[in-house]
Amino acid sequence: MSNIEGKVVIITGASSGIGEATAKRLADDGAKVVLGARREEKLEQIANEIEADGGTAAYQKLDVTVQEENDAIVELAKSTFGGVDAIFLNAGIMPTAPLSAMKTDEWHQTVDVNVKGVLNGVAAVLPTFTEQESGHVIATSSVAGLKAYPGNAVYGGSKWFVRNFMEVLRMESAQEGTNIRTATIYPAAVNTELLNSISHEGSAEAMEGLYEQHGISPERIANVVAFAIDQPDDTNVNEFTVGPTTQPW
Ligand code: NDP
């Protein structure tokens, strides 16, 4: 039996791309998945597809910037499936633009979703993981969280934050003996709906060209999440950089 089977896994940003692919992959491996994102009709469709394939899924509208909605999806996992074993903090936006374009609303929105969304998700689940002395927090950072890219000052900063936060979470839970595992994923170009969040024309065009040339399928990232969860409970595989073999940047 795999170490995924029977686990209750909450996935944020589950309505498309990496989150959707991961939900389907984990459900195939026997996890009970709890899907959250703002587009409820997409969640319903994905949950139906999972159930039609013999999997188990629940879903609820979730805006990760709202603490109460993060708390509510943890409650949904408990009331529907009896607990929560893992959370995949994956919701994110990438409104790439040069700073000189002064898209200050997007700067703040990026921090709200990519940084505060992760804080809110962890705040919702950490008391449960601490009390039960087990749990798994997985987060989607980015290669932009490992190196700097022009156009991604704020996005990259939000993803550098995720790296630091996840590493300290890992160290503190080890110090405290709460057995909470962590995994941080650093994807490069993956073909999803992410580029739709770019409003700056020049940036959108440049990114679309790169993704068309190099982008890989979100199932590749789902494989890595499944690998992390499937490890024995005493083993924490912590960081994964995953991208197209052909991507030179
Ligand atoms: P998608 O745009 O396909 O998916 C993003 C998901 O985040 C959607 O489900 C969206 O759902 C959700 N989301 C956005 N804002 C919120 C919010 N406020 N509350 C809840 N959910 C929200 O792109 P990806 O699958 O690519 O993105 C997933 C993660 O991967 C992101 O964190 C992204 O930064 C990261 N990443 C992606 C890379 C790539 O090349 N694709 C590379 C590196 C990192 P909805 O709109 O329904 O709320």
Contacts of 220 (CB under 8 A, 6+ apart): 190, 242
Q: Is pLDDT above 90 for 249?
A: no
d(CA 19, CA 101): 30
Half-sphere exposure of 36 (CA within 13 A, CB side): 27
CATH number at residue 122: 3.40.50.720
Is 84 a domain residue?
A: yes
DSSP state of 74: H
Across 226-245, average pLDDT:
97
Across 72-100, average pLDDT:
98
- 1: confidence class by pLDDT, cuts 50, 70, 90: confident
For residue 146, what pLDDT is reported?
A: 97
pTM of the shown model:
0.98
Phi, psi angles (nearest 5°) of residue 57: -145, 150
Helical (H) or strand (E) element with 41: helix 40-52
Q: Is pLDDT above 90 for 100?
A: yes
Q: Is pLDDT above 90 for 95?
A: yes
For residue 145, what pLDDT is reported?
A: 98
Pocket test for ligand 1, best of 89, 90, 249 (most atoms within 8 A of CB): 90
Contacts of 168 (CB under 8 A, 6+ apart): none
- 19: confidence class by pLDDT, cuts 50, 70, 90: very high
d(CA 235, CA 170): 12
Q: Ligand 1: residues within 6 Å at CB? A: 12-19, 37-39, 42, 62-65, 90-94, 113, 140, 142, 187, 189-190, 192-194, 218
Is 243 a domain residue?
A: no
- 207: confidence class by pLDDT, cuts 50, 70, 90: very high
- 38: confidence class by pLDDT, cuts 50, 70, 90: very high
Is 124 a domain residue?
A: yes
For residue 118, what pLDDT is reported?
A: 98
155 is known as an active-site residue: yes
Domain count, the chain: 1
- For residue 73, the CA-to-ligand 1 centroid distance in Å is 18
For residues 27 and 3, the answer to whether their CB atoms sit within 8 Å is: no
Is 1 a domain residue?
A: no
- Structural domain boundaries enclosing 218: 8-232
Is 210 a domain residue?
A: yes
Residue located nearest, by CA, to atom 6 of ligand 1: 13
Is 242 a domain residue?
A: no
- For residue 1, the CA-to-ligand 1 centroid distance in Å is 31
Token readout for 6 is: 């029977």
Across 182-190, average pLDDT:
98
Phi, psi angles (nearest 5°) of residue 137: -110, 125
Is 244 a domain residue?
A: no
For residues 125 and 171, the answer to whether their CB atoms sit within 8 Å is: no
Tell me which amino acid residue 95 is: P
Residue % of the chain over a pLDDT of 90: 99
Is 237 a domain residue?
A: no
Among candidate residues 65, 81, 114, the one with its CA nearest the CA of residue 10: 81
For residues 79 and 62, the answer to whether their CB atoms sit within 8 Å is: no
